[in-house]
Structure 1
Amino acid sequence: MTVPSTTDEDRLRRIEFVTDSALAHLDVKDLLDELLDRVRSLLGVDTAAVLLFDASATHLVATAARGIEEEVRQGVRIPLGQGFAGRIAAERRPVIIEQVDHSNVLNPILREKAIRSLLGVPLVIEGTVLGVLHVGTLTPRRFTEADTHLLQLVADRVALVTRTHQSDVDRAAAEALQHSLMPGTLPQIAGLELTARYVPGQAGGLGGDWYDVFTLPSGRVGVVMGDVVGRGFQAAVVMGRLRSALRAFAREEDDPAEVLERLDGNVQHFEDNVMATVLYAVFEPSLDQVMLTVAGHLPPVLAVPGDAGRLLQLPVDLPVGVSVGPPRRTTVIDLPPGSLLFLYTDGLVERRGRSLDEGLDRLCGAVRAVDIETTCTTVMSRMVGAEPVADDVAVLVAHRAEASEAAPLYLVLPAVLRSLAEVRSALRRWLASVGATPDDVTDILVAVGEACSNVVEHAYGPGGGNLMLHAERGEDQVTVTVWDNGRWRSARGENRGRGTTLMQQCSDAVDVTAGPHGTTVRMQRHLSGETR
């Protein structure tokens, strides 16, 4: 190969100077535009363009162009192996076309612009092809070895800058996406204390670890711990899709195993080369039992008052995304009052130079059925300490309160129809946690439902307002108060205004106080088995 001339070396130094300093503050698009302007000047060409691979690495997408800006504006996509750019990427070598025609160029824009000659080189870094850089002239030109050498040197620097900027953008986007998908505030659930931790790993990029807690229309509570295989922005995107799909299936299926079965089918149909481990648990409204199913994930740790934590012995099914496997299984465990369930991802227990069993034993020794924040602090101190973790760590702790510790229920919701379902679900859970019988629950839900419906229908005008509810358990009764800050409006339609009668039939005492600043309904119900 011909050794570059002193002039070429001078040109290269000019490019390096501009790339390394003056353009360092620009984003990828502006930086590429500036570089292409300089490439056109240095090589004396009329057009220059950069095409980068899309996420699937099957198509090149026009990302920056000078002299042929239409490529970018029209979203030109070139399949790998086809056309001029596709051939360069597939063969991973420079390609020269001295006379452009329909047989050697796929993109019609190149012909419409009357480009006569083309030179293109691959953008390669660490053995990976990122895309293609090509230049063209409107008059016939015989590109030389020196031209090719210089353009390849420029391409190497473009590839490095592009990878660096893409990594920064991907990292920032992945962090923003992952943080947006993590529950900012865990739901408040009567009788159940919840807390979580998330620590990004130092291995580079973000992983697909996630946790989730949500309430279900039945009054049950769903808890998820998952880990998408892979790292970076794509793993975070997949994590988001899995999280949304699982939530949707959880609303339709009570059995956790069936939920993951449907999630698995969804992944295999719509996702390519995606695999994830998932643990899905469903707490009964009473919190007495938990149903769990495990898809390749590490089992949780259960601690009961007075004892050290123990690893639950659960059947472990195949991860989500594996094409063939037996039916998934659900295991039901008892959750006595005061018990604590500890869920986590493998980054917490896996360390180089230490067996997994040793890590799990250390974790069990650190988990106790005490205050959740104390538990988290103890575990993170013993398992992580001051050393950076290589892999992401996600932790979720659920602690069932002692039977006598059930706190009052307090809700503030928009006075709209959709809030009625949330009130019903939350109240059902709370009633189960304070020992109400099924008959108690049914009657109280009817009475409270009527009071809440009245708020939605009569308390506010078009401006809207809030529905407030407070429920507490006395020695032998439950008292529920529903109130608003609006002005009463008459019932609309026929056969309306019978809510008070239903409330009286389902309660032992009903007191309604209405005034210019709102209406308060206070209902009392003695629990079954107590003196009525």
Structure 2
Amino acid sequence: MAATTPVTNEDRLRRIAQITDTTLAHLDVPDLLDELLDRVRALLDADTAAVLLLDPSSTYLVATAARGVEEEVRQGVRIPVGRGFAGRIAAERRPVIIDEVDHSNVLNPILREKDVRSLLGVPLVAEGGVMGVLHVGTLTPRRFTMDDADLLQTAADRIALVTRTRLSDLDRAAASALQRSLMPGALPRVTGIEFAARYIPGDAGGLGGDWYDVFSLPSGRLGVVIGDVVGRGLQAAVIMGRLRSALRAFALEEDDPAEVLERLDGNVQHFEENVMATVLYAIFEPSLERVSLSSAGHLPPIIAQPGERSALLNLPIDLPVGVSVGPPRRTTTIDLPDHGLLFLYTDGLVERRGSPLDTGLDALCEVVRAEDAEAVCGGVLHRMIGATPVNDDVAMLVAHRLGTPSVVPLSIVVPAVTRTLSDVRSSVRRWLAAAGASPEDAADILVATGEACSNVVEHAYGPAGGTLVVQMELEGATVVGTVRDNGRWRPARGQERGRGTALIRQCSDDMDVTAGPGGTTVTFRRHLTGSSR
């Protein structure tokens, strides 16, 4: 090491003050840390300097910046907390001095390969917690003193503060970008119902894990979700993204909201450590007349109907996901009349420090009305937030059922197996009721649909299976039904087989069958002679 001029304490204090001066404001985190380490090396007349930051699990220190031992960063050195030189500093939260480096006191082989002889390290502490380690070393033996340690700790405190601030800014930006990418860009447009939603970040800084979602299901139903992951920042947003994807996957396999949340809970408890979230999941029937809901620790939605005061839905609240095993989850099914409205929200909308939760809930019930969904969102934000800062994030989702002049077309995609036929029949029956079909018309159309579906299950596919598509549309007062597959039909077996087509013809006004290599489509029409429409 080159000879240096002795440095006075006044010089050192001046250099410390310069470690995080405003000239570094334009640098990103890696360049910022490199520049800071150069200044630290000069401050302590050292040959090497390195910063290791805790990973998200807080179990490893990861080499993030290094001068003189750049290989640490290039090779992604990871040191377990509590082991080796750096791990010991993080675990004990105090300076550590090593006069002579050897295998017994240094875990990182790079330090030995670079022939680092002496080391001094201190914890990087910000907001009361250890976020990493700063250490310096020399290529010749040196006895670092406690004055050196105090000096390095002062520098480390400044570095920790500026690094935490810069990383927090990056986390907020990343969390914001992630959250925007995961929130529905445009809510589905479904005949007969309108949706509106809002997300407002809290003033406490950083984004949280609040989210909402609306998606169509193969059965023709609609899935509606609102949830809140405990925590803030990028980690909460990442967890939110995983929960959103998992819930969507389970929703494709389960028709009961309680079962979907039960599976989501199992997923969280198995794969996510120390994660808890409240979630409310609702399924709208194809007719939109009925809604089934289940709540995992989430506040109950508000239901509004024309001419009535809005009220909290009488919905049992089960344990949040991520909590230890509790009683079975429950599903509640309600009727949603024409022009009825469901208002879903997260707790940031109604919770205020120093004010009872019931006060916020009562105020929310006062402002929610069975009217235009966008107007409801605007009115709620004006009344509940206004110019008052809110500490927590706010998410809200409004579902307003409309009095529609036409019936929503029904589209169902299910596995072509016997067990799904009862679900198809139930969905078609509800759709026919919404279409105003008389009991006699509905009975004939259900027979025609059932026979066409049964033929697909029996003849269209082999052991590999396939899908069954059922569609219903109303053209004037005529129901147009379509049953489609993409298989290759097997010949009918037995003397009683093959009569399904005749039954479909008897129950409809006309029928058409189109068959080819890409599958078979059966289309039938039935005029609703007893239509109430």
TM-score by length of 2: 0.81
Q: 3-state SS of the aligned residue for 2:34?
A: helix
* Letter aligned with residue 374 of structure 1: A
Name the CA distance, whole Å, in 1 between partners of 2:488 and 2:370: 55
* Letter aligned with residue 197 of structure 1: R
Q: 3-state SS of the aligned residue for 2:149?
A: helix
Residues 70-95 of structure 1, C-alpha deviations (whole Å, 9 max, x = no match): 11111111111110001111111111
Deviation at 1:342?
0.9
Question: CA 1:511–1:494 in 2, change beyond 3 Å: closer, same or farther?
Answer: closer
Mapping 1:492-511, distance limit 5 Å: 508=509
Match of 1:81 in 2: 82
Deviation at 1:141?
1.1
Match of 2:344 in 1: 343
CA contact 1:51–1:133 (8 Å) conserved in 2: yes
Unmatched tracts of structure 1, length 5 or more:
412-423, 449-469, 482-490, 496-500, 513-520
Match of 2:494 in 1: none
Match of 1:167 in 2: 168
Name the CA distance, whole Å, in 2 between partners of 1:432 and 1:179: 39
Match of 1:268 in 2: 269
Name the CA distance, whole Å, in 2 between partners of 1:308 and 1:158: 57
Mapping 1:174-323, distance limit 5 Å: 174-323=175-324
Match of 1:130 in 2: 131
Question: CA 1:140–1:472 in 2, change beyond 3 Å: closer, same or farther?
Answer: same
Residues 49-73 of structure 1, C-alpha deviations (whole Å, 9 max, x = no match): 1000000111111001111111111
Query: Is 252-261 or 8-17 further displaced after alignment?
Result: 8-17
Unmatched tracts of structure 2, length 5 or more:
1-5, 412-423, 454-470, 491-500, 514-521
The answer to whether the aligner puts 1:20 opposite 2:14 as a matched pair is: no
Name the CA distance, whole Å, in 2 between partners of 1:438 and 1:173: 56
Match of 1:30 in 2: 31
Deviation at 1:376?
1.8
- How well do the aligned residues superpose, as a CA RMSD in angstroms? 3.7
Deviation at 1:265?
1.2
Match of 1:44 in 2: 45
Deviation at 1:509?
6.4
* Letter aligned with residue 290 of structure 1: V
CA contact 2:287–2:408 (8 Å) conserved in 1: no
Query: Is 68-77 or 149-158 further displaced after alignment?
Result: 149-158
CA contact 2:41–2:47 (8 Å) conserved in 1: yes
Query: Is 110-119 or 41-50 further displaced after alignment?
Result: 41-50
* Letter aligned with residue 334 of structure 1: D
Question: CA 1:136–1:433 in 2, change beyond 3 Å: closer, same or farther?
Answer: farther
Name the CA distance, whole Å, in 2 between partners of 1:392 and 1:45: 46
Name the CA distance, whole Å, in 1 between partners of 2:433 and 2:139: 79
Mapping 1:426-441, distance limit 5 Å: 433-435=434-436, 437=442, 440=445
* Letter aligned with residue 359 of structure 1: G
Question: CA 1:307–1:105 in 2, change beyond 3 Å: closer, same or farther?
Answer: same
Q: 3-state SS of the aligned residue for 1:198?
A: strand
Question: CA 1:84–1:441 in 2, change beyond 3 Å: closer, same or farther?
Answer: farther
Name the CA distance, whole Å, in 2 between partners of 1:408 and 1:329: 29
Question: CA 1:492–1:300 in 2, change beyond 3 Å: closer, same or farther?
Answer: closer
Question: CA 1:59–1:494 in 2, change beyond 3 Å: closer, same or farther?
Answer: closer
Question: CA 1:238–1:493 in 2, change beyond 3 Å: closer, same or farther?
Answer: closer
Match of 1:455 in 2: none
Question: CA 1:528–1:258 in 2, change beyond 3 Å: closer, same or farther?
Answer: farther
Deviation at 1:386?
2.3
Deviation at 1:354?
2.6
Deviation at 1:303?
1.3
Name the CA distance, whole Å, in 2 between partners of 1:53 and 1:177: 22
CA contact 2:200–2:394 (8 Å) conserved in 1: yes
Deviation at 1:11?
3.6
Match of 1:153 in 2: 154
Q: 3-state SS of the aligned residue for 1:277?
A: strand
CA contact 1:287–1:433 (8 Å) conserved in 2: no
Deviation at 1:123?
0.7
Q: 3-state SS of the aligned residue for 1:252?
A: coil
Q: 3-state SS of the aligned residue for 1:396?
A: strand
Residues 255-275 of structure 1, C-alpha deviations (whole Å, 9 max, x = no match): 111111111111111111111
Deviation at 1:149?
2.4
Name the CA distance, whole Å, in 1 between partners of 2:85 and 2:450: 70
* Letter aligned with residue 134 of structure 2: L
CA contact 1:95–1:120 (8 Å) conserved in 2: yes
Name the CA distance, whole Å, in 1 between partners of 2:97 and 2:529: 88
Match of 1:70 in 2: 71
Name the CA distance, whole Å, in 2 between partners of 1:136 and 1:526: 89
Match of 2:372 in 1: 371
CA contact 2:220–2:410 (8 Å) conserved in 1: no
Name the CA distance, whole Å, in 1 between partners of 2:231 and 2:109: 38
Match of 1:113 in 2: 114
CA contact 2:410–2:431 (8 Å) conserved in 1: no
Name the CA distance, whole Å, in 2 between partners of 1:143 and 1:446: 88
Name the CA distance, whole Å, in 2 between partners of 1:131 and 1:494: 66
Match of 1:382 in 2: 383
* Percent of aligned pairs with the same amino acid: 70
CA contact 1:242–1:263 (8 Å) conserved in 2: yes
* Letter aligned with residue 317 of structure 1: D
Name the CA distance, whole Å, in 2 between partners of 1:438 and 1:34: 79
Q: 3-state SS of the aligned residue for 1:193?
A: strand
Name the CA distance, whole Å, in 2 between partners of 1:146 and 1:80: 26
Question: CA 1:364–1:241 in 2, change beyond 3 Å: closer, same or farther?
Answer: same
